Amino acid sequence: MSETLGPDTGAQPIEIDFFRIEDAPGIARLFHEVYGEGYPIRTYYLPDQLIEENAAGRIISSVARTRTGEVVGHDALILLDPADQIYENAAGAVLSAYRGYRIFPRLFRHSIVDASKRFGVVTLIGEPVCNHPHLQKMCLELNFIELGLEVDLMPATAYTTDPSASGRVSVLQGCFIYKPTAQNAYIPLIYRDELEYLYTGLEGERTFVYSTDSPAEGNTRGSVKVFDLAQVARIAMNSIGPDFESFIVHVENEAREKGVQVFQVWLPLSSPFAPMGTDILRGQGFFLGGILPCRADGDGLMMQKVSQEPQWEGMVLHSERAKKIGEMIRHDWKCVTKG
């Protein structure tokens, strides 16, 4: 897959292909040039680790290289859930000298179309940044469904070479869905209108259930992943018990001691206790983030909390749907934080 010419290549086309072992050192150099030391996932700076992750299928790298083998661009799919074949698209970069030759759109299409097909991806999560519209446009051209807004997700240090970013950068959250599923979803009444809007356009039948149940027994269980460089904590709830509030307070306090500024909690909408959990989180300063559909064990609702007022005016939201989502989430942030 070779066509685009770049600087100093003469007649050499730029090839877009799957990862090869010999690409790993070039990818590390690419990330150092594009992100400095600011990219929050260290794997791409560590050739041996990147080789191991690609061999295991936990990362699926798409690579742009010259005919002589120089790596000039990278994009990846990252495995989030082996059981459900859910991946996330991330880690996009192109050397500055090769920008303007439409290398990244080809890399991105290779990840979304070719890699997804080869590796049997069921759902692919995308997070196009909101400091410019280019990636949002590319996503929409490939049938991306916008489902939320992750406020202040990326640190400013990841964009030291990007003049379009100042401060933390928010991202749209959404999916490329290859195999729709039917689900029941326990919807918090307070977000009925917002979630009905977010679910509009999704394939796969959804049955909304409204519950006010509270758990009488059982323990709250969840997994916590802290991204130290990004100062982000993601908390995925497996079960919601009567100790949910104390669980969240404990996790948040521990994370703040590690310098975390952004918190995301994923609630399982397959649980009748998800609406109660939503109310508790709102009482702790969390506001609406978005939905994640098409998991075998049920959809997820993302609630989020940030340590400072987001730069709402600086967010670039391309589509009318994205703008509507931005308005909804900004309104809920104001309701939760300002009263």
Q: Domains of the chain: which residue ranges?
A: 2-177, 183-338
CA distances (Å), origin 39, targets 90, 206, 231:
11, 37, 12
Distance CA 245, CA 242 (A): 8
Write down the pLDDT at residue 258. 93
Distance CA 153, CA 149 (A): 9
Mean pLDDT of 193-215: 88
Name the one residue in this structure whose structure tokens are 């066509």. Answer: 3
Write down the pLDDT at residue 196. 93
* Phi, psi values for residue 38, rounded to 5°: -90, -10
Q: Is the pLDDT of residue 140 over 70?
A: yes
pLDDT in tens, 144-158: 999 999 999 988 766
- One fold for both 2-177 and 183-338? yes
pTM value?
Answer: 0.85
Domain topology for 2-177: Aminopeptidase (3.40.630)
CB-based contacts of 71, cutoff 8 Å, min separation 6: 23, 26, 27, 29, 30, 63, 64, 65
CATH number given to 183-338: 3.40.630
Write down the pLDDT at residue 179. 79
pLDDT in tens, 292-314: 886 667 899 999 999 999 989 88
**DSSP structure string for 17-84:** EE--GGGHHHHHHHHHHHHTT--S-GGGG-HHHHHHHHHHTSEEEEEEE-TT--EEEEEEEEEEETTT
